[in-house]
Structure 1
């Protein structure tokens, strides 16, 4: 079982010719409401890209509003166990306001809503679920004390702990030392390593010295760098595709990587599988609407 502890958002997506300047009013194009949130995106990616017999569950919070009902329906429709997704009374479901320009680059502003109400109490209520997992995946769109408690709980249970430290913020070495796989982009790598550098191999090595056992740095169209305790370090180039929208490409990669790990593939095979899935996702619009299924990837785990 893969358990994801994290955020659920409704994405409010607007296509724009370019990003607006401060104070500027800009005429936009197509507008969409699409299920999103890093936690939910990664859960959907795991569910779609893992073997059919792999169970996927979430621990999260929703508001008691229309977006919350829509998000729960979407999660259930993807075969994800929602028993530990809690509705918070008188709270809004989290949203992300996303601008996507003609180059397929995005700019995102979050309103946490119910995501900010996820509490240690919810983790304790889900202790049996977490105990049944083989892999526990977390991000930083929910309160940091909850993330730290979840990492410590899962580590103490002997689970494989995967952390995507996004949005980027510093974390103590005592937390990183309990993370089995740290998956992050180059900006997040520089922040956590405490060094501004274009030397990705150096940053990954520094993060391992800070305590993370295995580090994966995603570089968009430049590929992925992996630095692993067991199989060493290597850079894998990205597949070249015409991007339409990069929203959730990183989440899709993470879901594919974890699905492959759960199936017993080695880390570099897992990177390749995640890259293949992400390459498909950027050719489609939206977050969860862009995530492919296992049979579409062509190198199913």
Structure 2
């Protein structure tokens, strides 16, 4: 069966340390626990789609190492089409070093490894997957020319194109916006893309409107406990977040993106898909880790 969602992006092994607080520069802190878990924004989003009822294929790279084999296996057991996951010789798999504090906030250092070798030609090899999809998802943990090619190809094919601009450190190339149906930054990413400091719904609306002016089709700004704001040429709509006690926010945004995409291909209306993604993300923050925190569709049954 052809995958209705294709994720082009990163696969990382997450090395997670928990501590009471995040360290300051030059400081050594005692930690409380450590574990390794499959992650990477691309892989997380693919797993979220699969667990939440969508058929999905992944296009990305891993290294020829134990982490790479574990990352590939983690996708395969979820029923994800892995024909586009390629093992690169002579390079490590991507690694994310994550510290999580007692308030469930995190800081992350990413080593790209094989993700840095994902070229436009790598993706083009699996153009049949893109042609068969309904939704194509990209992030910013692989080379920018690869993201640019995929966005343009998605638009050329008439697919629904989602760009999760994470991690964003500054404005996107101007020619990207016309290829994007849904741009999905969080608060800090929206600020990096627009220069508008996002602290509340009003500032989020202004940032979203700026992104529309730049050419994005629609914008969904995720605001953590404040929910999400959909900004479209017709107006804006706020979606309050479910109330939960957070344990670990790692992969919450990825869970939302995957849930939103899964909702779209399952036939939900736009607002319903946003709410569905929020419910999945809310459950994910009550659990530790990236992919282990992502819920299954049956867990979200009314």
TM-score class, shorter: over 0.9
| Aligned mates of 1:188, 1:21 — CA distance in 2 | 22
2:263 is the counterpart of 1:243: no
Which of 188, 204, 207 lines up with 1:203 in the alignment? 207
| Aligned mates of 1:170, 1:58 — CA distance in 2 | 26
2:228 is the counterpart of 1:212: no
2:148 is the counterpart of 1:144: no
Say how many residue pairs are matched: 295
1:7-51 per-residue CA deviation (whole Å, 9 max, x = no partner) reads: 00000001101111222111101100000000000000000012x
The Cα of 1:261 is off from its aligned counterpart by 1.1
1:164-212 per-residue CA deviation (whole Å, 9 max, x = no partner) reads: 0111032122211110011110111122123335411111111111101
Query: In structure 2, the residue corresponding to 1:140 is in which secondary structure?
Result: coil
TM-score, reference length from structure 2: 0.95
Please tell me whether the aligned partners of residues 51 and 296 of structure 2 are also in contact (alpha carbons under 8 angstroms): yes
- Residue of structure 1 in register with 2:78 after alignment: 78
Name structure 2 gaps, 5 residues minimum.
none
The Cα of 1:123 is off from its aligned counterpart by 1.4
| Aligned mates of 1:24, 1:171 — CA distance in 2 | 34
- Residue of structure 2 in register with 1:262 after alignment: 265
- Residue of structure 2 in register with 1:97 after alignment: 97
| Aligned mates of 1:96, 1:180 — CA distance in 2 | 29
| Aligned mates of 1:89, 1:170 — CA distance in 2 | 33
Which shifted more, 191-200 or 136-145?
191-200
| Aligned mates of 1:203, 1:267 — CA distance in 2 | 20
| Aligned mates of 1:128, 1:171 — CA distance in 2 | 27
Which shifted more, 182-191 or 288-297?
182-191
The Cα of 1:228 is off from its aligned counterpart by 3.0
1:259-283 per-residue CA deviation (whole Å, 9 max, x = no partner) reads: 1111221221111101100110000
1:30-83 per-residue CA deviation (whole Å, 9 max, x = no partner) reads: 100000000000000000012xxx421011000000000001010100111110
- Residue of structure 2 in register with 1:48 after alignment: 51
- Residue of structure 1 in register with 2:173 after alignment: 172
Please tell me whether the aligned partners of residues 134 and 160 of structure 2 are also in contact (alpha carbons under 8 angstroms): yes
- Measured at CA, do residues 218 and 197 of structure 1 come closer, stay the same or move farther in structure 2, by a change above 3 Å? closer
Name structure 1 gaps, 5 residues minimum.
none
| Aligned mates of 2:114, 2:127 — CA distance in 1 | 21
Which shifted more, 12-21 or 220-229?
220-229
Query: In structure 2, the residue corresponding to 1:39 is in which secondary structure?
Result: helix
- Residue of structure 2 in register with 1:128 after alignment: 128
The Cα of 1:238 is off from its aligned counterpart by 1.0
Moved over 6 A (4+): none
- Measured at CA, do residues 134 and 280 of structure 1 come closer, stay the same or move farther in structure 2, by a change above 3 Å? same
1:243-273 per-residue CA deviation (whole Å, 9 max, x = no partner) reads: 1100000000111111111122122111110
